[in-house]
Amino acid sequence: METKIFQSDQLDQAAELLRQGELVAFPTETVYGLGANALLPTAVKQVFAVKGRPSDNPLIVHVADFTMTKEFVESYHPLTEKIIKNFWPGPLTLIFKIKKDSLSPIVTGGLSTAAFRMPDNKKTLSLIEKTQAPLVGPSANTSGKPSPTTALHVYHDLNGKIAGILDDGATSIGVESTVLDLSGDTPTILRPGAVTQEKLAAILGIEVPLDKHLVSESETPKAPGMKYKHYSPDTDVLMVQPNDWDEAMAWAQENNQKVGLLVSPTIADKYLSADRFVFADDTIEAATRGLFSGLRALDEADKVDLIFAQVFPEDHLGLAYMNRLKKAAGQKYFAK
C-alpha cells in the first residue's frame, strides 16, 4: 500500500478514504492520531492490526463539536457543560456512559463507557466534518513505542500500512490528552496531560483526584495509556535524579556504556561529549514537547546502549511528563 502525505488542499481526498474504511493519520495539538471511521467496525479492527495494539484497549472517539457526542452518550455529568465551555477544543478527553450498542465494542473495549475528544487542530476538525463521522484516533505509531509528534514519525512507523497521513507539522504539546472520567459521581483524571489537576480544579471549584492505578497486561484499562509499561523505545531508558548526573555519567564510563542524554540545555552543557537530544529550553513545556521526539531520535540513531532521561517535579504539566517518562523507563531510575 502506498501511504500518501495529504496537505490542506487535499482534505476531501483524505475524508473520502476514511468514508471508504481506510486509515488516515491526522494531526492534533497533542500527538498524531491513527484515524478510522468510528462507525465502521472493520476499519476500527484495522487500527488494532496496524498498531499491534491489544484489542481490549478502548479508543478515543474524536468529534468536530460537542453535538456529535449526543448520538452516543446516555447521560452527561452535571459539570459537563462547564468543562466543554472551558476546555474544548483542547487536550482533554472525556469519558461518558454511552447508549447500549451505539458504538461497537471494538471501539469501547467492551466497556459501557466511551472516551470523546474535540482536538484543537483546524485541519483535523475539518477532516472530521468532511468525513461526516467521528474518528477513532489512538497514537499513530507501533503500540507501546513513543508516540508520534510529526508526520515523519508516523511515516517511519506506518509507511505502507495505512492509506495516508494529514501533515500539519510538529505538534505543539507533545504528549497525549488528559483523560477525565465523567461516568461516575466524582470527575477523576485517569491519564494526566496538559489540562492539569490545578486547571480543572480552578474551573470546577472542586478537587479533581488522579487515579494512579497502573493497569497490568491482563487487565482491561478504562482509558488508553494506563498500562504499566508504555511509550518505550527499544533502547533501555533510565531516569536520572537531579543530584545523580555526575555519578550516572561516571558509572556509564566505567562500564563502557555509551549513553544518550534526553535533557534540557543546562544539563546538556555539562556533558558535551555525550550523544544527546536537547530540549528547546529548560522549561517543563519544552521538555514535554520534546519527550517523544527525543526518545525516538536517540533510539533510532542506533548508537547508544542506554538513554539517561531528565526528571522534573511531578506537579502541573510535570505530572504528564513524568507519567509518560516513567512508563517509557519501566519505572526505573539510575541507581549505582
Amino acid in position 208? V
Is 293 labelled a binding residue? no
Q: Enumerate long-range contacts of 2-10, CB under 8 Å, 24 or more apart.
A: 2/160, 3/155, 3/158, 3/159, 3/160, 3/161, 3/162, 3/163, 3/164, 3/165, 4/163, 4/164, 4/165, 5/151, 5/155, 5/164, 5/165, 5/167, 6/164, 6/165, 6/166, 6/167, 7/167, 8/123
For residues 225 and 215, is the Cβ–Cβ distance under 8 A? no
Query: Is 57 marked as binding a ligand?
Result: yes
Residue 139 annotated in ligand binding: yes
30 is in an annotated binding site: yes
Report the sign of the C-alpha dihedral through residues 235, 241, 246, 250, in that order: negative
In degrees rounded to 5, what are phi and psi of residue 273? -85, -10
Cα 149 to Cα 190: distance, rounded to the nearest angstrom: 22
- Reading the block at residue 78, the C-alpha cell is 452535571
The total number of residues written for the chain in this structure: 336
| Residue 276 assigned to a binding site | no
177 is in an annotated binding site: yes
Please give the helix or strand (H or E) that residue 202 lies within, else none: helix 197-204
* Grid coordinates given for 325: 517518562
176 touches 225 (CB < 8 A):
yes
Cell reading at 334: 539510575
Which H or E run includes 178? strand 178-181
> DSSP secondary-structure letter at 72?
T
Is 333 annotated to bind a ligand? Reply is no
Binding residues: 30, 53, 57, 62, 113, 117, 139, 147, 177, 191, 231
Binding residue positions for ATP: 53, 57, 113, 139, 147, 191, 231
Annotated binding-site ranges for L-threonine: 30, 62, 117, 177
